[in-house]
Amino acid sequence: MADQLAMPHTATPAASVRTPSADIYAPQWRNVIFVAPFLFFFTTLLLFPLLWGIWLSFHKADTFSSGNFVGLGNYVRLYHDKVFLQSIWNTFYFVLLTVPTLALIGLFLALCLNRRTRTAAVLRTLFFSSSVLSVTIVTLIWRIVFIPNVGLLSTIYGWFGATAPAFISNPSLAMIGIAIATLWWCIGLPMMLFLSALQQIPRDIYEAAALDNANRWQTLRSITLPSIKRTFVLVVIIQIVLQFQLFGQAWLMTRGGPNNLTKPIVLYIYDTAFRRWDLGMGAAASEILFILILVAAMAQYLVARNKGDRA
Amino acid sequence: MSITAIKGRAFGDRVLLALVILLSIVMIAPVLWVIGLSLKENAELMANPNSVFHAPYTLRNYVNTVGTSSVFLWVGNSIIVSGGLTLGTLILSSLAGYGFARLNFPGRDVLFVIVLFGLAVPEQAVLVARHQIFSILKFHNTYPGLILPGLSASFGVFLMTQYFKAIPKELDEAAMLDNASRFRIFWKVLLPLTVPAQATLGIFTFLGAWNDYLWPLISATNKEMYTLTVGMASTQTNFAQSEGIGFLMAQAVFAGAPILIVYLFFQKYIVTAVSGAAVR
């Protein structure tokens, strides 16, 4: 059968002369069958829960039933909840700690490792390797680094007779500890994104610069950095979206403590909806997170779309 | 170029090299520390953490890890969940990708925009409602409960649609004019050409499902249904007091090593998959 299909058209030039008749691309209902299976899951498990969540956020609900309509009640309660406001601040603080650092170290590594040597290849492999680990393993590793007594940090400080900073229990250092573990975990992606951008810069521009006796700093400032400006913005936005969703590291390293100082929005949602079973309020908090992420995602879409506009 | 300039360059190179080496030590040292601890008796560690640097070493923590049957159960659950989700995603995304890229049906373009909008919806925005729906359907603590939510992600459809669109139309147009069945064209002509995209999507989906933490934590509350990520997290709750640090570290190595080995073999695909998914 397959041969019969393929033969006449590949063998005779007549096939290429034929123009597609309008009817093969005309809208037909039966074609929906290909997208229907996905659309079923997309509708029932994404679109419907999205709308259901908005509806829930206006109700006082528990696991199995949605109780009374409370209007904006849940949102008002959130607005007056010090812990929720703290969790928003914590999330922004965490994003501020991680995103610029990830972008700058990622760029630095990409600039250093963008060469065809074996060492560079090995180091690229190394810096990306932590990204494939699960959050459970990453936090286990970093808790054992930070833990007093047998921790790596306290052992190293011990050699010099000093006491290591308490990255997990000290209120002003706990979030920094979580940020350090996150940097270690996430550095691979920004580095790789910068590397692929660097490789797209045409070689002849560099050759021209070399002929003009431009030094390395000049080349970096006037050729390399301008060429990857868009990638830099993209990396920053991608990381904002990712780091806004902080949950596992905070939950596993500090449980959000001390004094809720490391409790991010997602952990607040988890606590409210699945530990205190106040689903309505949890849904309301998740709508606020959604709006925050949506703004960043829209920015990403706009930056990504401008790709074609570049000369 | 003057000699001082060359010397300056060499000096600058050395500073950069030193920085990169420092960063690589930061990457490796914690892992070596964890491996070291996993090879020590707990009592000895508690007495003196510096004992990591000298013998005696023991494999007892690994024997204990393997002896704890739960770990294998969790690995099994993770394989079923990640494998099931990967297979499902590949099937749904390929079919839908072909549909959106090559076929026309009423409302296609509007539907595609709605599917694209799905890319911007974070898991947390639908988490609470999904949990309630799954409670009503009694899906919690079942494999479908862990697999199904992932099937609603639009990324695969987006990727496959792009890929099908990039295949020259001439390849399947002739068959379409001959009124060959759409499914036959999809299956025989186009699908074999999408193997690279299938590999990218497959690896990305599998890795994401394997490392997923939030949904399994909420949905699989029964110890028997834990995935590896949730199971491991459950044993580390009371850290120092529990079975001992060496044991926890052995567990971490035991869980982390396979995925790192897979990464070393399929590095190129994994990097492409992850960075491709990030940029979209």
* Closest C-alpha to B116, from A305, A241, A308, A194: A305
| Distance in angstroms (rounded) separating the CA atoms of residues B124 and A272 | 13
Note whether B275 contacts A189, CB cutoff 8 Å. yes
Question: Which span out of A298-307, B23-32, B47-56, B69-78 was modeled with the highest average pLDDT?
Answer: B23-32
Tell me the per-residue pLDDT of A73-128, one tens digit each, with 9 for 90 and over: 889 999 999 999 999 999 999 999 999 999 999 999 999 999 888 888 999 999 99
Token match 């079919």: residue? Answer: B95
Q: Within its chain, how far is the Cα of A254 from the centroid?
A: 21
Using CB atoms, pick whichever of A34, A50, A283 lies closest to residue B99.
Answer: A34
B220 shares its domain with B174: yes
Note whether B178 contacts A9, CB cutoff 8 Å. yes
> Is A68 a member of any domain?
no
| Distance in angstroms (rounded) separating the CA atoms of residues B170 and B175 | 9
Residue A61 β-bridge partners: A66
> Which pLDDT value is given to residue A3?
39
B112 shares its domain with B45: no
> Is A185 a member of any domain?
yes
Q: In degrees rounded to 5, what are phi and psi of residue A61?
A: -125, 150
Mutate to test the interface with A, among B132, B218, B229, B274 (most CBs of A within 10 A): B132
Range of the domain at A255: 75-309
Q: What's the ipTM?
A: 0.87
> Is A304 a member of any domain?
yes
Range of the domain at B56: 3-60
For the four alpha carbons of B271, B274, B278 and B280, in that order, the dihedral sign comes to positive
Q: In degrees rounded to 5, what are phi and psi of residue B178?
A: -80, 5
CATH number at residue A80: 1.10.3720.10
B99 shares its domain with B152: yes
> Which pLDDT value is given to residue B171?
83
Q: How far is A77 from chain B (nearest CA, A)?
A: 18
Q: In degrees rounded to 5, what are phi and psi of residue A254?
A: -130, -5
| Distance in angstroms (rounded) separating the CA atoms of residues A125 and A121 | 6
Q: Which H/E stretch holds residue A265?
A: helix A265-274
Using CB atoms, pick whichever of A136, A141, A294 lies closest to residue B31.
Answer: A141
The residue-averaged pLDDT of B121-125 equals 88
Q: In degrees rounded to 5, what are phi and psi of residue A59?
A: -125, 160
Mutate to test the interface with A, among B91, B128, B194 (most CBs of A within 10 A): B128
Using CB atoms, pick whichever of A32, A41, A105 lies closest to residue B148.
Answer: A41
Token match 């496959």: residue? Answer: B160
pLDDT along chain A (311 residues), means of 10: 40 45 72 92 94 90 72 88 94 95 95 89 92 92 86 87 85 93 94 91 84 82 87 90 92 88 94 89 92 84 64 33
Check: CB of residue A195 under 8 Å from CB of residue A128.
Answer: no
B22 shares its domain with B80: no
> Which pLDDT value is given to residue B269?
81
CATH number at residue B95: 1.10.3720.10
Alpha carbon distances (Å) from A31 to A131, B101, B264 = 40, 11, 42
Note whether B130 contacts A45, CB cutoff 8 Å. yes
For the four alpha carbons of B252, B254, B255 and B259, in that order, the dihedral sign comes to positive
Q: How far is A311 from chain B (nearest CA, A)?
A: 20
User: What tokens does A266 get?
Assistant: 């997602």
Tell me the per-residue pLDDT of B72-97, one tens digit each, with 9 for 90 and over: 889 999 999 999 999 999 999 999 99
Q: In degrees rounded to 5, what are phi and psi of residue A96?
A: -65, -35
Using CB atoms, pick whichever of A18, A63, A132 lies closest to residue B260.
Answer: A132
For the four alpha carbons of B18, B23, B26 and B28, in that order, the dihedral sign comes to negative
B147 shares its domain with B31: no
Q: Within its chain, how far is the Cα of A286 from the centroid?
A: 17
Using CB atoms, pick whichever of B5, B111, B128 lies closest to residue A56.
Answer: B128
Count of domains for chain B: 2
Q: How many CB pairs under 8 A join A and B?
A: 298
B97 shares its domain with B229: yes
Residue B34 has pLDDT above 70, yes or no: yes
Q: How far is B167 from chain A (nearest CA, A)?
A: 16
* Closest C-alpha to B51, from B63, B62, B61, B36: B36
Which residues of chain B have a CB within 8 Å of the CB of A34? 95-96, 98-99, 103, 182, 186
Note whether B23 contacts A279, CB cutoff 8 Å. no
List Cβ neighbours of A228 (8 Å cut-off, separation of 6 or more). A107, A194, A197, A198, A201
Check: CB of residue A53 under 8 Å from CB of residue B129.
Answer: yes
Count of domains for chain A: 1
Q: Percentage of residues in chain B with pLDDT exceeding 90?
A: 37
B73 shares its domain with B56: no
Cis peptide before A258 (omega within 30 of 0): yes
> Is A109 a member of any domain?
yes
* Closest C-alpha to A69, from A85, A58, A84, A55: A58
B55 shares its domain with B109: no
